[in-house]
Structure formats: structure tokens, C-alpha cells
């Protein structure tokens, strides 16, 4: 009997663990107005997306910033050389970097990564293709 109760407790704990207690639930997608805000970003081109999403942490000049922790500079960043890395970062997130795969279309991801790779002292001119983004989305 004792063992049964432990098992029940652990199962319940796991079930509870699935319920995140975040402030606001995301609204279902709607073709009409949304009081809770659309999880999709309005901006479509790379520059607008950078200015309205990435700049929140990496700063408008892409120089990053620091406090108790730090936001890496995207300016002159060697890690952007292979496009798969920034594509994966934007789609899936890592560490403090949130995942934006659910909030951006493949075209938006391609546009914003291409923009960052060709600005702020980065000159990786091979544009990110939709196929590349699609592949990352599918392998997630």
C-alpha cells in the first residue's frame, strides 16, 4: 500500500509538471482581432524584424549588453559564418535565448537571419533559403 501511494504521488507530480503557471496563456490563432495579442510578429522584412524582436536583447546596434549576465554581440560575430547556427538559435532558442520558431514563419526566420549576416560588420552574403529553415523546423 505504501508503495502504491508513492507511485501515485510521483505520477501526479509529473502530471502537474505539465502545467506551467505563466502569466498569460497564448490565444488560439484567429483571423479576427485578438485581445491577448498575436504570437506572430507583424514585421516581415529582415530589418524590421531585427528592430522589433532581436534588438530587445542584442540592442539596436547589435552590440549586445551586460549586467549580471550578458547578451552576445551579433555585430562582427564569427558564429554567423555558417547560417545553420543562427537559424537554429532563432527557431529553437538556447540558454536565455527564447525559441521563435512558433512565432515566425520560415520566410521571417530566413529574412532576419539573412539581415543579421549581412549587416553590423558581418558580410556572409549567401542568403538563407526557405528550404534551410524548413529543414531545421522538420528536424526539431
Q: Is 139 in the site for other proteins (CB under 8 A)?
A: no
- Residue 112's alpha-carbon distances to 54, 67, 119, in angstroms, are 9, 26, 11
Q: Coil, strand or helix: which one is 67?
A: coil
Q: Is 89 in the site for other proteins (CB under 8 A)?
A: no
Touching other proteins, residues 21-60 (CB under 8 A) = 21-24, 26-27, 30, 32-39, 41-43, 51-57, 59-60
# chain residues binding other proteins, by CB under 8 A: 57
In whole angstroms, the minimum distance from the beta carbon of 63 to other proteins comes to 9
How far apart (Å, rounded) are the C-alpha atoms in residues 131 and 31?
Answer: 27
Helices (H), 18-129: 46-49, 55-58, 84-92, 106-117
Q: Return residues touching other proteins (CB under 8 A).
A: 2, 5-6, 8-10, 12-14, 16-24, 26-27, 30, 32-39, 41-43, 51-57, 59-60, 65-71, 93-100, 103
Amino acid at each position: 500500500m505504501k508503495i502504491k501511494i508513492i507511485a501515485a504521488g510521483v505520477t501526479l507530480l509529473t502530471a502537474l509538471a505539465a502545467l506551467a503557471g505563466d502569466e498569460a496563456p497564448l490565444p488560439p490563432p484567429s483571423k479576427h482581432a485578438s485581445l491577448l495579442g498575436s504570437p506572430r510578429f507583424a514585421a516581415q522584412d529582415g530589418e524590421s524584424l531585427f528592430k522589433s524582436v532581436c534588438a530587445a536583447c542584442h540592442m539596436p546596434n547589435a552590440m549586445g549588453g551586460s549586467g549580471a549576465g550578458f547578451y552576445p554581440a551579433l555585430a562582427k560575430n564569427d558564429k554567423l559564418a555558417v547560417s545553420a547556427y543562427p537559424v537554429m538559435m532563432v527557431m529553437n532558442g538556447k540558454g536565455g535565448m527564447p525559441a521563435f520558431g512558433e512565432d515566425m514563419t520560415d520566410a521571417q526566420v530566413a529574412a532576419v537571419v539573412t539581415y543579421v549576416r549581412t549587416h553590423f560588420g558581418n558580410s556572409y552574403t549567401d542568403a538563407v533559403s526557405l528550404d534551410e529553415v524548413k529543414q531545421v523546423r522538420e528536424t526539431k
